[in-house]
Chains A and B, each alone.
Chain A
Amino acid sequence: MYSLVQDQASARERFRARMLMGSADIVSPVLLVIGIGIFLWLAANPAQLEALLRFAFPGRSSYLYERASLLALLGEHLVLVAVSATAAAVFGISLGILVTRPAGRDFLGIVRDLSSLAQTFPPVAVLALAVPALGFGFQPAVVALFVYSILPVINNTISGLVAVPPDIVEVSRGMGMTRVQILFRTELPVAARVIIAGVRTSVVINIGTATIGAVVGAGGLGAVIISGLVRDNYALVFTGAVSAAVLAFTADWCFARLERRFYSARSDRS
């Protein structure tokens, strides 16, 4: 079952690599910084942004979201993502470690199944369930995003730790490492790349999904998109969607760089 999940994961990886991640190899830091620079400049200069949008979508009554600046929305979005993704990463990695310890092995299957189940809930449904409990605003959005972002982290943490060759663990024990030392000096460093790949997927999904938070008044870039949809104003939808995309791309690029600093089992075999 593991190998199946891993195969699916790696197929997804490869697909993603072709569609997007290849860009991590192509896009140089210079280009990325220039792109982000242009984006931030436009976000900070509404007059120029409006001119650009007027050119792209002629004949609209308005081009800008009036209730908050794009920069402020970007900030809200980032906070939403940072809180929920960090919580998901910490929780997911911890749980992944726990169920791969001898004492927690019994729970490995059920944790995997539950986290997969969590992923099948539409985030809107989670929001709808969270609102009666937590009210409108930031909190239900964070909870929904948290639930939704855990799966890739748990899956990759488990896959990464299970794939650590047993002889390496054995020899670490034989050299006199304690269990904690084996975890931190042997298992986690060997699994780090796979785990970080999980966090990377989780964050990218999270950034996209966070736009839905606007439905319950959590703010963020979703506010622009929803406002545009309600008013049938594609300039606004475009602004919000492109902003979220830039954010997701940047985060993905950063994680791709981070991943490469860690040991990879693939380079080991070549």
Chain B
Amino acid sequence: MIEFEHVVKDYNGITAVDDISLELSAGKICVFIGPSGCGKTTSLRLINRMIEPSSGTIRLDGTPVSKIKAEQLRRGIGYVIQSVGLLPHMSVRENIGIVPRLLGWDRNKRAKRADELLELIGLAPAAYRDKLPHELSGGEAQRVGVARALAADPPVLLMDEPFGAVDPLGREALQREFLSLNRELKKTVVFVTHDLDEAIRLGDRIVLMRDGKIVQDDIPERILGTPHNEFVREFIGADRALKRLSCFTVESCMHQAAVLEQALLEDGKPPADLEVNGTGTLWIVDAGAVPVGMCRRSDGKWGDVRDVRAEELGVKTLSSLRDALSRLLGRGLKAVPVLSDGNRLVGEVRLTDIEAVNQSDGYV
């Protein structure tokens, strides 16, 4: 557990961290986020004494960090930075072995540990252990950076925008991997980022900072759902509504769909006197209730039946509303089918449903 108690850091009259008190629970990922200059990186670096506080106390499992020799403290805390900082003259194996070597492990033990970690981060030890950093791709270097931080099995990891320099696709992969890795390892992680999506994806808890102060400290859903003030609202951005849609499942707001069995079509069209409510969309299904076509009614007439492929168009009951919205907009439709397992039609989600959810929270 990491505790901040009235921690202040002044730089020549500028207060980078202004009286912060926090308790970070063990085994969780806590994300510090905020605009640049908000003090998030400073707060992180205070933990391993890369920076000393002007006043206040930081405790690691109850012991004030100022009581531990800086080098010794740092050897017990994993540290990952944005530029990775693999030592360019050392092989991957030597890089991973840096902290173990500082701790006096012998060569064999270091080599074994490096192979173990390469395996863990999904890089084949035989192919990677002797490579030099410049032979690695950005994503591979980041993985090795994480492996290096884990080398001596520290209980705490400090990560300062560790995936910031990787392209968006690679970043998502790294985030996914890291999340599942930490589910297993249960490290106490302090993570700094300026990317809200990353914070939402990774954080068990998000600490939003501004001008050295904590503005809101909450679980991701509540940061998005009930922002404390105008600043939080602004920070989570114009697309906060979109982000918030990630928190709702399709199931929670779907409607009954108008359905017609394929066999009942007359000359390839629905019966002219068939009326439907809602968006005027009729789903044509086969005998197994799998959607195979759709038809729109406008001005009291049926249009042509369009073939659809259920798995391409439909969303699952547990998909997020954000997924549903993406499909609605992508296809230019007023509604998309909701499918259960086996692609059976169980309902539809309409554009109007999403609008309704969006307005329900009162901050549009």
Contacts and interface: CB of A to CB of B under 8 A. Distances in A.
Contact of B87 (A174, A186, A269): A186
Interface string B32-64: 000000000000000010100000000000000
Contacts, number: 66
A177 B102 CA distance: 7
A174 B81 CA distance: 9
Contacts of A269: 134
Interface residues of A, number: 25
By CB atoms of chain A within 10 A, which of B75, B83, B87 has the most?
B87
Contact of B89 (A172, A173, A178, A190): A190
Given A174-B74, A175-B98, A178-B71, A168 B85 contact: yes
By CB atoms of chain A within 10 A, which of B74, B88, B98 has the most?
B88
B75 A170 contact: no
Dominant secondary structure of chain A at its interface with chain B? helix
B72 interface: yes
A158 B102 CA distance: 27
By CB atoms of chain B within 10 A, which of A165, A174, A178 has the most?
A174
A189 interface: yes
A121 B356 CA distance: 85
Nearest to A186: B87
A265 interface: yes
Contacts of B148: 175
B91 to A, nearest CB: 11
B74 A167 contact: no
Contacts of A268: 88, 133-134
A262 B88 CA distance: 11
A58 interface: no
Nearest to B85: A171
Interface residues of B, number: 24
Contact of B102 (A167, A170, A176, A190): A176
A27 B13 CA distance: 62
Contacts of A185: 87, 98
Given A168-B85, A186-B87, A268-B88, A177 B48 contact: no
B99 interface: yes
Nearest to A269: B134
Interface string B272-294: 00000000000000000000000
B182 to A, nearest CB: 20
Interface of A: 165, 167-168, 170-178, 181, 185-186, 189-190, 192, 262-263, 265, 267-270
Interface of B: 48, 50, 70-76, 79, 81, 83-85, 87-89, 98-99, 102, 133-134, 148, 158
Query: What are the nearest 7 A-B pairs in CB distance?
Result: A171-B85, A263-B89, A176-B75, A176-B74, A174-B79, A167-B83, A268-B134
